[in-house]
């Protein structure tokens, strides 16, 4: 190696063991041996030439970045559309709750935190707040109607409970069967499908329990102070109202012109 006579030792992991864990253990052992060989006459040195855990670490790091970026963008979009700071906080709490709860279910199922499970969580990040957004928006609507926060939380949650449960069951119906595939493909996708299902189950539980509870005690009243922050949220509301008004007018015209709908649909499909 590098023009010097060397003795190469290849370390293989056993079936079922973790590649990254084995690599870390080998590196720790190499460091101890180098420390012990310092006083040897020939002064041998152990060097890691090839580390097959490096691409795995890079993949895990990339997926972790995707998860954090997804969380940030999700909270940002929720804030822009709800235009309410407290509502954004209440909705955003569903993300760490669902992710931490998913890790607990992963441990119970005997899964490890690997590329497959992290990839499933990165995909599920955008779905985790769907239930919380629906519940929180309906509760906020009841608060705007002048109802107390506790009453609005109870009535608003009951109104959309069936729809929220149905939405989650649809997602489970898509990803659940993936976990029961046979063969080598099934071995790879089992953890993927179940991880998404675990995250969605925790998300549904959070949307029907934690979200309404926080809305009842932390939501406050639906009013905005005449501050820079309040004026900014008011402008966001006006922009959304203008877009909704334009969309309603567009739909009224499109209903009278069915060929326009067909042309737009063909354009989207193409």
Q: Which CATH class, in words, describes the domain spanning 54-223?
A: mainly alpha
Q: Tens digits of per-residue pLDDT, 14-57?
A: 877 788 888 999 999 999 988 888 877 777 888 888 888 888 88
Burial letters 213-229, b for 16+ CB under 10 A, else e: ebbbeebeebebeeeee
- Domain coordinates in residue numbering, the chain: 1-52, 54-223
Q: Tens digits of per-residue pLDDT, 111-122?
A: 887 778 888 887
Q: Tens digits of per-residue pLDDT, 246-263?
A: 878 877 776 666 666 677
The count of other CB atoms within 10 Å of the CB of residue 13 is 16
What Cα–Cα distance (Å) separates residue 45 from each residue in 6, 37, 38, 117, 178? Answer: 10, 7, 8, 38, 49
């Amino acid at each position: 190696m590098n023009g010097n006579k060397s003795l190469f030792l290849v370390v293989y992991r056993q079936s079922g063991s973790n590649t990254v864990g084995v690599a870390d253990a080998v590196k720790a052992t190499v460091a101890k041996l180098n420390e012990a060989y310092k006083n040897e006459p020939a002064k041998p040195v152990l060097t890691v030439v090839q580390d097959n855990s490096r691409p795995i670490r890079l993949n895990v790091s990339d997926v972790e970045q995707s998860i954090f970026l997804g969380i940030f963008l999700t909270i940002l979009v929720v804030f822009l559309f709800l235009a309410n700071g407290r509502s954004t906080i209440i909705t955003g709490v569903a993300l760490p709750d669902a992710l931490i709860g998913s890790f607990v279910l992963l441990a119970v199922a005997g899964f490890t935190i690997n590329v497959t499970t992290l990839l499933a969580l990165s995909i599920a990040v955008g779905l985790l707040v769907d239930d919380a957004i629906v519940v929180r928006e309906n509760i906020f609507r009841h608060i705007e109607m002048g109802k107390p926060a506790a009453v609005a939380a109870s009535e608003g949650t009951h109104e959309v409970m069936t729809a929220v449960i149905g939405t989650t069951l649809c997602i489970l119906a898509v990803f659940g069967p993936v976990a029961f595939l046979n063969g080598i493909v099934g071995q790879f996708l089992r953890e993927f499908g179940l991880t998404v299902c675990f995250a969605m189950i925790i998300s549904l539980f959070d949307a029907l329990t934690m979200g309404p509870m926080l809305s009842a005690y932390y939501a406050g009243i639906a009013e905005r102070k005449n501050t820079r922050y309040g004026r900014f949220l008011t402008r966001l509301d006006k922009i959304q109202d203008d877009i909704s008004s334009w969309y309603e007018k567009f739909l009224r015209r499109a209903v009278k012109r069915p060929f326009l709908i067909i042309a737009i649909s063909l354009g989207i499909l193409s």
